């Protein structure tokens, strides 16, 4: 009887070990949800053994994305960005979130000598609204007239009193080159806050990885922007973010020329030295702003900036050359 009891104990221990091994091998369940937000689709993937916690975290993360959109969308008349654009030279009270994004944008504007500029909204409206509507290229005089309303140094930010204004009437901003990254960061931080250790937040192809994917990095395929069936490389993320800016996201052709939404504030025309720029950083706000900045700066100056900052980046030039930053190439 004693021998039988000992054998049963051994069998139980072996079974327990096998169950642990099988569970570890299988990994925690993957929960995924997609919602239409920020003018595109947002997908959150969570790997967590506690499905109740995962679903509650998912709810909270999507709420944070919606909150950022309500604050910063220029298409929402009640947003803080719309209020600021309407107020002109009068002060507009802003939330800490919006002030943070404005200050971050100002940082990249100064760093790039104006290649990144959220006050390019009048130029964006000229090209993406008026030109599309009238089916004609603007005259050089029209472009110069609108360019007078562009310049990040004319956006006055009073961080202490949480407010901002323009010092010139007729100016306006768009946070299209940075707000999506900030929304991804807010959602990711919310997941971390409630105890999620493995997740991927994806809004329109811009992503931030929280931890890894069951012991291996999250893998993101970087497609050829001129041939979506072709993969250029696989990017592996572990507590990192990746964003891509390209001339293929919002564009049309006018008089045989590709017109897209990434405007060079210095020329008043769509930036034309790059097809796409992919940047990898720790947080998505920086990656979002940097990919736009480098796109406008062009391959040579853009790569130089990435190297100075010690940032991974891959640039596809207008002549389809692939240029990697020093850190990416390692």
In the chain, domain spans: 77-175
Q: What is the pLDDT of residue 151?
A: 97
Per-residue confidence (pLDDT) for residue 6, from 0 to 100: 40
pLDDT of residue 310: 96
The whole-number pLDDT of residue 25 equals 36
Q: What is the pLDDT of residue 27?
A: 63
- In this predicted structure, what is the pLDDT of residue 217? 95
CATH superfamily of 77-175: ApbE-like superfamily (1.10.3980.10)
pLDDT digits 0-9 by tens, 21-32: 333 334 678 999
pLDDT attached to residue 66: 98
| Intervals of the chain under pLDDT 70 | 1-27, 251-252, 254-255
CA–CA distance from 193 to each of 40, 42, 158 (Å)?
25, 20, 30
């Amino acid at each position: 009887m004693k021998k039988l009891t000992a054998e049963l104990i051994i069998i139980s221990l072996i079974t327990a070990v096998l169950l642990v091994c099988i569970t570890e091998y299988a990994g925690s369940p993957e929960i995924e949800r997609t919602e239409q937000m920020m003018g595109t689709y947002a997908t959150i993937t969570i790997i967590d053994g506690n499905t109740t916690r995962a679903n509650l975290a998912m709810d909270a993360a999507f709420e944070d994305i919606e909150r950022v959109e309500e604050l910063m969308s220029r298409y929402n008349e009640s947003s803080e960005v719309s209020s600021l654009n309407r107020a002109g030279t009068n002060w507009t009270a802003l939330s800490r979130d919006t002030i943070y994004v404005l200050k971050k944008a100002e940082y990249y504007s100064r760093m790039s000598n104006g290649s990144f500029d959220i006050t390019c909204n009048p130029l964006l409206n000229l090209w993406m609204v008026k030109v599309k509507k009238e089916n004609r290229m603007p005259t050089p005089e029209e472009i110069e007239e609108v360019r007078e309303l562009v310049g990040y140094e004319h956006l006055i930010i009073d961080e202490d009193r949480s407010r901002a204004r323009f010092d010139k009437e007729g100016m306006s901003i768009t946070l299209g080159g940075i707000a999506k990254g900030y929304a991804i960061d807010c959602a990711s931080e919310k997941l971390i806050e409630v105890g999620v250790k493995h997740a991927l937040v994806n809004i329109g192809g811009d992503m931030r990885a929280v931890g890894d994917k069951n012991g291996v990095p999250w893998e993101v395929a970087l497609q050829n922007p001129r041939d979506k069936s072709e993969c250029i490389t696989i990017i592996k993320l572990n507590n990192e973010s990746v964003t891509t800016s390209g001339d293929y996201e919002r564009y049309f052709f006018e008089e045989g020329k590709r017109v897209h939404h990434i405007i060079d504030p210095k020329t008043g025309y769509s930036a034309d030295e790059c097809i796409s720029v992919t940047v990898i950083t720790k947080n998505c706000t920086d990656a979002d702003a940097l990919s736009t900045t480098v796109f406008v700066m062009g391959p040579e100056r853009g790569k130089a900036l990435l190297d100075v900052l010690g940032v991974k980046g891959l640039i596809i030039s207008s002549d389809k050359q692939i240029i990697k930053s020093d850190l990416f190439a390692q």
